[in-house]
Amino acid sequence: MSRYVSEPLVQRLPAYYRHMKELEAQGVTEITSRNLGERMQLNPCQIRQDINVIEGAGKQGFGYSVKELKEHLQKIMGLDQHRRIIVLGRGRTGQEIANHPAFADEGFPVVALFDLDPGHLAQSTAAVPVYPEAELETRVPDLGAKIAVLALPTEKAQEMLNRLYDLGIRAIWSFSRADLHPPRDMAVVNWHLYDTLQILSYRISQMEEESPRR
């Protein structure tokens, strides 16, 4: 894709893709900007602007091809390729990610878990191999992984990020509370569970304040 995608649109791409998959599963072949806007709670004008950037195929008065738009989204998001994942940390979060079938189904197979505590290895119930963290440097080059999941204590996260960078990993999905400092050519996405709950709490407070005014 040659056009620049703004960060707000990047945040909307997964929702577009999810809706295209749902529509295709329902047998819908075309959808208008108005109907898609109603599904996504967006103005039809915004839908048209977004799809113009995504380069989906549309016909005046007929709408957009669900199949073609889904394929464009797959290419833009790199979902037409499998991107292998390794998980660092065999706690509850690490095991849930490793054992969740949806990741492999969506093209993100987990190929290995690395545990900081070798004593946990015998207790593993994961469907993927589990290795001691000390073997990271010898095993990662042969795994073909593109993404690493950090499910580690805060004090270990930055050190592990640095090690992964030296091994050629350039994408991190972090479940650590640490404020990571990645190199410029490394992408890091943070998932802070409590942050999302706090945002939800804020929105509840806003609704409660607005209710008496109605």
Q: Is 151 helix (H, G, I), strand (E, B) or coil?
A: coil
pTM of the model: 0.80
Angle at CA of residue 44, ends 2 and 210, nearest 5° = 120
* Euclidean distance between CA atoms 51 and 109, whole angstroms: 29
Q: Provide the residue type at 108 as one letter.
A: F
- φ, ψ (nearest 5 deg) of residue 117: -115, 100
Statement: residue 136 has pLDDT above 80: yes
| Structural domains of the chain, with CATH | 7-76 (1.10.10.10), 84-195 (3.40.50.720)
Beta strand pairing status for 130-132 and 145-150? unpaired
* Euclidean distance between CA atoms 197 and 161, whole angstroms: 26
Which residue, among 72, 5, 46, 75, has the nearest Cα to 36 in the 3D structure?
46
pLDDT at residue 1, rounded to an integer: 43
Question: pLDDT (tens digit, 9 = 90+) per residue, 9-29?
Answer: 999 999 999 999 999 999 999
Which residue, among 141, 121, 137, has the nearest Cα to 129 in the 3D structure?
121
The whole-number average pLDDT for the span 87-94 is 86
Q: Which of 3-17, 19-33, 159-173 has the lowest mean pLDDT?
A: 3-17
**Band of residue 197 on the pLDDT scale cut at 50, 70, 90:** confident
Which residue, among 75, 69, 73, has the nearest Cα to 57 in the 3D structure?
69
Statement: residue 69 has pLDDT above 50: yes
- Do residues 139 and 131 lie in contact, with contact meaning Cβ atoms separated by under 8 Å? yes
Query: 């957009």: which residue's tokens?
Result: 64
**Band of residue 59 on the pLDDT scale cut at 50, 70, 90:** low
pLDDT at residue 67, rounded to an integer: 94
Q: Provide the residue type at 64 as one letter.
A: Y
Count the neighbouring beta carbons within 10 Å of the beta carbon of residue 74: 16
